[in-house]
Every structure is written in C-alpha cells, then in structure tokens.
Amino acid sequence: MKSSENKLWVKTALLSAIFTVLLLMLVNYFFNHSWNFFENSQIKTQTFSVQGTASATGTPDQSDISFTVSKTATTAQIAQQQANTSMNTILSDLQKNGITKKDIQTSNYNSSPNYADDGTTIQNYTVSEDVDTTVHDNAKTNVVIDTVTKDGAENISGPNLTFSDTQQQKLQDQARIQAITNAKQKAQSLANAAGLHLGKVINVQEDQISPIVYPFRPIPIIMNAKAANTAQSVPTQINPGQNTVTSTITLTYQVN
C-alpha cells in the first residue's frame, strides 16, 4: 500500500515540476518572445541617461579685505615699533566694529633695509605687514574699509564678495533640487519622443567640473597712503550685487 502511495506521490511531483517549467517558458515567450527563460535572465538592463542644470542666485553675505601697514625708520627696531603701534590701533578699531581676532590674519611680514644709491650704505629700515580680514556681515564692509583707511593702512584691496558656508549650502541645495526636476522633465520628454518607457532611476550623479560659484566682484579698491588721506572724508560705498550657484545633475534610468 505504501509503495503505491509513494509511486503516486512521485508521479504527482514530476507532473507538477513539468507543468511549472512549461508555465515559465510560456510566460517568458509571451513577454520576451523566447522559449529560453535562462537566456533572457542574462540580458543586460538597458539604461538611459539625461542631464539637468539649474542655478540659484543670492546676495553675498561675507567679504574679504586685505591691507598693508608699512613703516620706515632709521633703525629696524623703531620701524617695527611704529608698525606695531599702527597695527594695534587698526585691530582695536576693527574689534570695536565687530570684527573678531579670528577673522584677522597676517598673510605676510617683512623687515628689510633700504640702501643708498651706492648699494652698500643702509639709509633706513622698512617693516611691513600684510593682513587679510574676513567680514561676515557685508553691511560692515564699508565701515571696515573706512576704518583701516583712517588708521593709516596702505594698499587696501577688496572686497572679495563671497557666500558663507551656510549660504553656499542653502543655494547649492536649491540649485540641486531644481536641476533634478529639470533632468526628470527632460528625460520624460525625450523618452516620449523616442517611444521609450522610463523605469526607475538607478543612478544619480552631480557634475562639478565647472566652478560652483560665479561671483560678481566690484573693481578692487587699492589705495596708497596719499590716496587714503584724501579719501578719509568720503564714505566708502560697496554694492554686494549677486552671485550665482549652479548644479548639474545626471540621472540614469532603466528603460524598456
């Protein structure tokens, strides 16, 4: 009795397996026009890539200003003392206007003798210090320039108007979202025109070959001591304008 039951079970299982294989082959032929469903499992997925670009514009919220303090005296020590006195006055006045020490950086310091026409006799010594200042509030940029000018700084240049990290990230996010939207719209339009059916997005890539920021920069203000004295009574006017952040996104879709 058990032998007959076992034979019946084996026969049923075999018929079920054959039926399953035939069903899979039939479904595969219906969708892929091939009886070999193993063959189609090895076909590479077809893809379709499209690129979208967008920009976000904002007003620069910080700037960099550089200047020089230079003093000449009969000895190097006196020249250094005079330069230090002048620099301390500038630093004190900048801090009174809200510029912190961490945003004031010496970029170069030089002490050198000045020779007479014979090339061997030392006439005097010059001590100079170049300083870079970062202003985190562009409403204060005019005041900073006027302050260092009043205190006798030379070779004042800037402002180099830029975005803070926070503002840069905010605009970058806006541009990125718009670039993705642009890429999706372009992909759908091209797919419709080509008779393709878009599947899921399988890859997203941001292209940063081009510079992210294209800053608007006014003509740099460069003053020597004589020009600075003349300009003390004329308030500086700086227009920050606008800078643009761009994002280019490439989306890759599955297609059929």
Express each pLDDT in 71-81 by its tens digit. Answer: 999 999 999 99
Reduced to 3 states, what is the DSSP secondary structure of residue 134? strand
Per-residue confidence (pLDDT) for residue 196, from 0 to 100:
87
Portion of the chain with pLDDT greater than 90, in percent:
57
Which of the two residues, 237 and 137, has the higher pLDDT score?
Answer: 137
Per-residue confidence (pLDDT) for residue 223, from 0 to 100:
44
Per-residue confidence (pLDDT) for residue 241, from 0 to 100:
77
Distance CA 22, CA 238 (A): 80
Spell out the alpha helix ranges (H) of the chain: 2-32, 37-40, 76-96, 141-150, 165-194, 225-231
Distance CA 100, CA 49 (A): 49
SS (H, E, C) 135-181: ECCHHHHHHHHHHHHHCCCEEEEEEEEECCHHHHHHHHHHHHHHHHH
pTM of model > 0.75? no
Which of the two residues, 135 and 9, has the higher pLDDT score?
Answer: 135
For 15-64, how does the pLDDT look when each residue is reduced to its tens digit (9 = 90+)? 676 767 666 666 655 555 555 545 554 456 688 899 999 999 999 999 99
Q: CA-CA distances (angstroms) from residue 11 to 14, 16, 19?
A: 5, 9, 12
Domains of the chain, CATH where assigned: 2-40 (no CATH), 63-161+219-239 (3.30.70.2970)
Please check whether residue 129 is in contact with residue 88, taking contact to mean a CB–CB distance below 8 angstroms: no
